Structure 1
Amino acid sequence: MELSILLNTGVTDNPSDILIFFGRIHPLVVHFPIGFLILAALVEITTKWAKFQPLKNYIHYLWGLGSISSLFAILFGYFLSLSGDYNENTVFLHKWSGVALFLFSSICYYISKRQIKLPFYGKSILILIIVFTVFYTGHLGGNLTHGSTYLFEYAPNSIRSLVGMPKKEIPRKKVTVLDSADVYLDLISPIMNNRCVSCHNQDKKKGDLDLTSYANLMKGGENGDVVIPNDAEASDFYRRITLPESHDDFMPSEGKKPLTKNEVLLIGWWINNNAPSNGYFSQLNPDKEIISKAKNILGLDKNNLFNKKVSPPKKEIIDSLSSQGFILNKLMKDNYYLEANFSLSEKSITPKGFETILQLKGQLIWLNLNHSNITDEYLMKIGQLENLIKLNVSRNNISDKGLMHLSGLQNLESLNLYETNVSDSLLTVIPKLINLKRLYLSGSKANDSIINELKKKNEKLRIIFD
């Protein structure tokens, strides 16, 4: 009686919340028939060997459990399909292949229970059909959840052709200069693909919304347009991604990772600039904040040095530096970037050592010369190590004159000037170090006025100063 109440007239047009609730149990129970039926098939095979013959007495239980659990999966799957968020053709095939699986497994249960022998390898053929149906039904379920291209998205073109899929599209070249970025293809579309398309595609159109292309996005969903050009606040798409995560309308739903603040800000800016389908990012006259967010999303605010491959250093150079007191470490498994550390040496550093280290200017990215008795003259050599990312020259007798030699280190991210004599030259040199993220000035000659001025000009720079 309860079931008849649930399946009242018009339920398929406007399913009740309780039906959708039961429908969402489908992903929990759908794995039980898969496990039971595959296990039953394996036991059927293993009982061909004498030592596994005792298992024959239990096979019908596995077929029975597989049959019953598949019935529950069908029922809950039907309730889930009533939400109307899925491709109708795929749902139809998924549903009836599930029904076929229930029937075939029920037949196997009856045959095993009654120990009926079928002629012409009949049972073996039936088991093969069941195994195939399990995989086929699961594949269709995966299509409904992740989209029809999910399984073969990364398959070789030869396999894609066999299943009727087009060859892989040639991926867009990685954007290396922001001015060359297409506003939709390089910025907005990748955000949609990463955050939204899993629930809004041709096979799973939640809210009747497909976000796999610009044209489909602009078609909107069941409630009309979701993007109103030049008005982000009136756009339902923007409204949903800016709601509190606890709100029922917040997107993405179902516990999926929300968009970052940078992604939300960029989408709002894009909509307010007429939501174009193409065109260079720079043509929309972005302000400094939007440029910064776009660089972050494209990874252009990161050091591109690691994208380069460097050749291995010559053994004689490594041996020479080691004999002079340097400790050298390889920093990456698949590249030859190095760290050179002289701070633990009991020897005195020499001009010869610096001449040798210049031969590693391509590989050297970390250099530690803490308390190594270097002077301003040595900084002239260090300034030629253009790939340096991390430099520690703390507790050395270096001054503003020597610091000026470091202004060309464009890859430098960390600079330690603890207990040095640097002061006013910081205001000239530090702004030129465009990738600098951390600056250590405790115990130096810098004063509060210099520190405050540096902070004003470099808001993202972390300055350690006591």
Structure 2
Amino acid sequence: MTYLMINIGNFHPVLVHLPIGILIFAFILEIYQRLKPDQNIGGVIKLAIGFGVLSALASIGTGLLLESNGAYDEELLFRHKWMAISLTAVTIILFFAKEAKQAVLAKLYFPLFILANVMLTLAGHWGGSMTHGEDFLTKDTSKAKKSIEDVDKALVYNDIVQPIFDAKCVSCHNTKKTEGKLLLTSQAEILKGGDSGSILDSTETRPPMLVHRIALPMEDEEHMPPKGKVQLTPNEVALLNWWIANNNCFDCITADLERNKRVQGFLNDLEEDTSTRAVLARQLEPAPDVWLNTVLANGISILSLKEESPLYMVNLSNKKTLSKNSFELLNDYAENIVEMNLGNSNFHDSLATEIRSFKNLTKLQLHNTGITDEALEFTEDLTLLESLNLYGTQVTNTVMDRLRQLPNLTDLYIWQTSITNDAIHTFKTDKVATTVHEIDDDIFGETELLPPTIIADSYFIMDSLTVEMSYPFEDTQMFYTLDGSVPDTTSLVYTQPIVLKDRATIKAITYKTGWGKSDVVSSDFKKSTLNYDKVALNKLPNEKYAAQGGTTLVDLKRGSNNFVDGNWLGYEGTHFNATFALAEKQDISSVSVGALSVPGSWIFFPVGFKVSVSDDGKRFTHLHTVDLGPLPPTSTISSKFFDIEFPKTTAKYVRVEVKSVLENPSWHQNPGGKSWLFVDEIVIN
């Protein structure tokens, strides 16, 4: 009988909404009639109040049955029950007071109606508090959940298990509503269990009740969470089972517990990058391709930090024609730009105010520019700035006070400035979280000379091509090689422009006595004299990276390190295959394939090549295969030509197959993900 009563009582949450809606609707009609007395709707209002009385009585009846299960906080239950009973009594009086002839009732009618709405609000609030918790109306739902930065150091119960309980279980098992006398709000209450005993203990024939209940079919009355509530995800179920299997420890960290690959994957999903860039990436949307292409078309290098990231790095280094117009185009999506390189450019004090718009900059490079202390007034707006390079500028001690105000500054480069050692020492004392890179640091050691800049009108040689090299400082020497070997101080010395008539790989360094050698810079130049009738792609590239189709491969426009520059063909999770129809039969002995590597964006160099030839375009003869083997671990962004050489042969058609790694390598941060292959210029000689 009690079970039947509770089942009938379960209709209370359904019925309780009827008097709420009906009485509020009746009150709105009453206000409307008072504003427009000519509208005779008194009978409708009285009918609505009558239905409100009946639904309130039904709600009270089912509520009295439901309270017998004892799952609710007694104080809240007392308030809710007696406020609802009082509301029903007032509503009955309200029904008879509507259109009453007695003066007393007529005068009480509208004040009673207002009182009824107040009581309705209180009864509803206390009822909601019993079901959802006392703060269900006032709690801050925007408050961020606790973040786990390193899951191996996370407390298993505090950081993983209890948050699952809080999200999916505590609404029915809290101090104000205790279904089955079970509380899931603390370690002590969980260990205590409920009416059915412990939820953690198991026997030889029965698993722990927690495991058993969440594994039951949804239709089973004992399934938890009950049908209609937000259910546990497969990840959450797996993590709870993992915790139980490890003796449901309350004080261990994740690293202490054994777990299989599946559980490790779920644990990894809990980690949240809380770095400035990661937070910005979650808040912002990617800039449209139209804007990115416009920026690139204006000679500004802009690169997404990784595939689908809304954050960008802008490179304006070595530009000597910067003006305010150079920054205006970037202002449309200034909040998306987190890194800007202005090094070795003509950036100066009068342009410094343009940087104020880029409030989300985390890294700014101003090395070897003409700025002074005055220029750095803009830094007060760059509160997210983490790295600032002032190497080789005209700043003085005056700027240090301003730099102290940057709350997130972690790296400061100030070598070859007028800032004194005393000022640097004081700054280091005040800003212990900031690393000041100066003459004693490795970053500005002997090998910190920048490499030279290799300048040419093209990367492709039709007849001959002039190549120049430049370096912004005097008293340095540039050494280079033409055969791809690593240069040193015994290599060719650059004294005048280099004229190339055949393919070459120029590698160059700068050298200065007392400084040592710079890193090596390299550029490939390819001889291109053949004409093509057609280039046919076996598979179309991804529509986002389709460029000009097959023509892209022979347009003599080299793709940059920016994979959205419109000069690359991008293929996801598949190999590349193209057939080149030469204008006429030719003797050929090599094929050079241009490819891109951006590991952070899941773009990798090829792992192999296959070249076949034909006279009629139908029957192809295999000519040469190259297998490069597994890709070595790297995070470097780079593009290069892969040269495939074979014995000279005559052909009209050449088929080039480029092998993709297909999936991210095991050393990648997302191993097994579908990887990308980006191909640009293919040169046949």
Counterpart selection for 1:251 from 210, 218, 224: 224
The 1:222–1:182 alpha-carbon spacing in structure 2 relative to 1, beyond 3 Å, is: same
1:307, distance to aligned residue in structure 2 (A): 4.6
Determine which of 251, 266, 273 is the counterpart of 1:293. 266
Q: Of 69, 88, 110, which aligns to 2:55? A: 69
Q: Decide whether aligned partners of structure 1 residues 139 and 308 sit closer, same or farther in structure 2, where only a CA change above 3 A counts.
A: closer
How far off its partner does 1:183 sit? 0.6
Match in the other structure for 1:242? 215
Spell out, residue by residue over 1:15-51, the C-alpha distance to the aligned partner (whole angstroms, 9 max, x if none): 6222112111112211111111111111111111235
| Counterpart Cα distance in 1 of 2:189 and 2:257 | 23
Change (3 A) 1:356 1:222: closer
1:50-95 Cα deviation digits (max 9, x unpaired): 3553112332212111111101110011111111111121111111
Pick one of 290, 294, 297 that aligns with 1:319.
297
- C-alpha displacement of 1:154: 1.4
2:155 to 177, 182, 205: 182
2: CA distance, partners of 1:52 / 1:394: 85
**Counterparts of 1:230 and 1:187 in 2: how far apart (Å)?**
25
Which AA in structure 1 matches 2:674? R
| Contact persistence 1:232–1:271 (CA under 8 A) | no
Q: Give the alignment of 1:109-128 within 5 angstroms.
A: 109-118=95-104, 122-128=108-114
Distance 1:297 1:400, change over 3 A: farther
Bigger helix share: 1
Seen in structure 2, the aligned counterparts of structure 1 residues 154 and 49 have a Cα distance that, compared at 3 Å, is: same
The yes-or-no answer on 1:24 pairing with 2:10 is yes
Measure the CA separation in 2 of the matches of 1:278 and 1:386: 39
Q: Secondary structure at the match of 1:378?
A: strand
Give, in whole Å, the separation in 1 of the partners of 2:626 and 2:191. 58
1:185-264 correspondence to structure 2 within 5 Å: 185-228=158-201, 234-264=207-237
Amino acid at match of 1:387: G
Contact 1:229 1:274 in 2 (8 A): no
Q: Quick one: distance in 2 between partners of 1:220 and 1:288?
A: 31
Contact 2:193 2:199 in 1 (8 A): yes
Change over 3 Å in CA distance of 1:177–1:230 after alignment to 2: farther
- Aligned residue in 1 for 2:137: 151
Summarize the Cα distance change of 1:119–1:68 in structure 2 as closer, same or farther, 3 Å threshold: closer
Instruction: Output the amino acid matched with 1:87.
Output: D
Task: Note if 1:57 corresponds to 2:43.
Answer: yes
Shift in CA distance, 34/307, structure 1 to aligned 2, threshold 3 Å: closer
Cα distance in 1 for partners of 2:158, 2:568 equals 34
CA 1:92 to 1:343, structure 2 compared with 1: closer, same or farther past 3 Å?
same
Matched letter for residue 318 of structure 1: L
Give unmatched runs, 5+ long, in structure 2.
301-306, 312-332, 338-542, 581-590, 612-624, 638-654, 678-685
Tell me how far apart the structure 2 counterparts of residues 331 and 279 of structure 1 sit (CA, whole Å).
Answer: 36
TM-score, normalisation: structure 2 = 0.49
CA distance, structure 2, for counterparts of residue 175 and residue 71 of structure 1 = 50
Judged with a 3 Å threshold, the aligned counterparts in structure 2 of structure 1 residues 344 and 115 are, in CA distance, closer, same or farther, namely farther
Partner of 2:319: none
Whole-angstrom distance in 2 between the partners of 1:219 and 1:50: 62
CA change 1:429–1:97 in 2 (3 A) is closer
Residue 546 of structure 2 aligns with which residue?
342
Question: Quick one: distance in 1 between partners of 2:74 and 2:221?
Answer: 26
In the alignment, structure 1 segments of 5+ residues that lack a partner are 1-14, 157-167, 323-328, 412-418, 442-466
Corresponding position of 1:437: 673
Gap change, CA 1:420 and 1:406, over 3 Å in 2: farther
Query: 1:388 pairs with 574, 578, 601, which one?
Result: 601
The CA deviation at 1:241 is 1.6
Gap change, CA 1:393 and 1:203, over 3 Å in 2: same
Shift in Å, 1:247: 3.1
Tell me: CA distance 1:119–1:28, structure 2 relative to 1, closer, same or farther (3 Å): closer
Q: 1:40 to 1:307 in 2, by over 3 A?
A: closer
Residue 250 of structure 1 and its aligned partner are, at CA, apart by 2.0
Displacement of 1:180 after TM fit?
2.2
Contact 1:197 1:210 in 2 (8 A): yes
The amino acid that maps onto 2:50 is: G
Please, which of 369, 372, 378 is the counterpart of residue 594 of structure 2?
378
Instruction: Tell me: CA distance 1:404–1:308, structure 2 relative to 1, closer, same or farther (3 Å).
Output: farther
Deviation at 1:336, TM superposition (A): 5.7
1:269 positional shift: 2.6
- Residue identity over aligned pairs, in percent, reads 24
SS in 2 for 1:82: helix
1:83 partner amino acid: N
Determine the structure 2 residue equivalent to 1:355: 560
Question: For residues 610 and 157 of structure 2, what CA distance do their matches in structure 1 show?
Answer: 53
Correspondence for 1:277: 250
Given that 1:175 and 1:298 are in contact with CA atoms closer than 8 Å, whether structure 2 keeps it comes out as: yes
Task: Quote the offset at 1:97 in angstroms.
Answer: 0.8
Report if aligned partners of 2:155, 2:251 keep a CA contact under 8 Å in 1.
yes
Which residue does 1:92 correspond to in 2? 78
Partner of 1:79: 65
Q: How many residues align?
A: 392
The change in CA–CA distance for 1:365 and 1:194 in structure 2 (over 3 A counts) is: farther
Taking structure 1 as the reference length, the TM-score comes to: 0.69
**Whole-Å separation in 2 of the counterparts to 1:24 and 1:133:** 23
Select the structure of larger CA radius of gyration.
Answer: 2
Q: Using a 3 Å threshold, how does the CA distance of structure 1 residues 66 and 149 change in structure 2: closer, same or farther?
A: same
Equivalent in the alignment of 1:45: 31
1:78-137 Cα shifts (integer Å, max 9, x gaps): 111111111121111111111111111111111114244449963332121111111111
Cα shift at 1:143: 1.4
In 1, are the aligned partners of 2:100 and 2:106 still within 8 Å (CA)?
A: no
Distance in 1, matches of 2:235 and 2:102, equals: 66
Per-residue CA distance 1:286-318 (angstroms, 9 max, x = gap)? 344432332245579xxx795597996877643
Q: Residue in 2 aligned with 1:414?
A: none
Q: Secondary structure at the match of 1:54?
A: coil
Describe the SS at the equivalent of 1:211.
coil
Shift in alpha-carbon separation, 1:25–1:430, aligned structure 2, 3 A: same
Q: 2 CA distance for matches of 1:233 and 1:182? A: 28
Tell me the SS of whatever aligns to 2:594. Answer: helix
> 3-state DSSP class of the match of 2:600?
coil
Q: Verify the 8 A CA contact 1:207 1:222 in the aligned structure 2.
A: yes
2:666 aligned counterpart, secondary structure: helix
Distance 2:228 2:13 in 1: 15
Asked if structure 2 preserves the Cα contact closer than 8 Å seen for 1:36 and 1:65, the reply is yes
SS in 2 for 1:53: coil
* Aligned 8 A contact 1:230 1:274 in 2: no
With over 3 angstroms needed to count, the CA separation of the structure-2 counterparts of 1:427 and 1:396, relative to structure 1, is closer
The Cα RMSD (Å) is 4.7
> Contact 2:76–2:126 at 8 Å: present in 1 too?
yes
| Counterparts of 1:63 and 1:428, CA distance in 2 | 68
Distance (Å, rounded) in 1 between the aligned partners of 2:62 and 2:211: 33
C-alpha change, 1:430 and 1:155, in structure 2 (3 Å) is closer
Aligned-partner Cα distance in 2 for 1:125–1:428: 73
The answer (yes or no) to whether the contact 1:111–1:117 under 8 Å persists in 2 is: no
How far apart, CA to CA, are the structure 1 residues paired with 2:547 and 2:570?
Answer: 10
SS at 2:82 equivalent:
helix
Partner of 1:129 in structure 2? 115
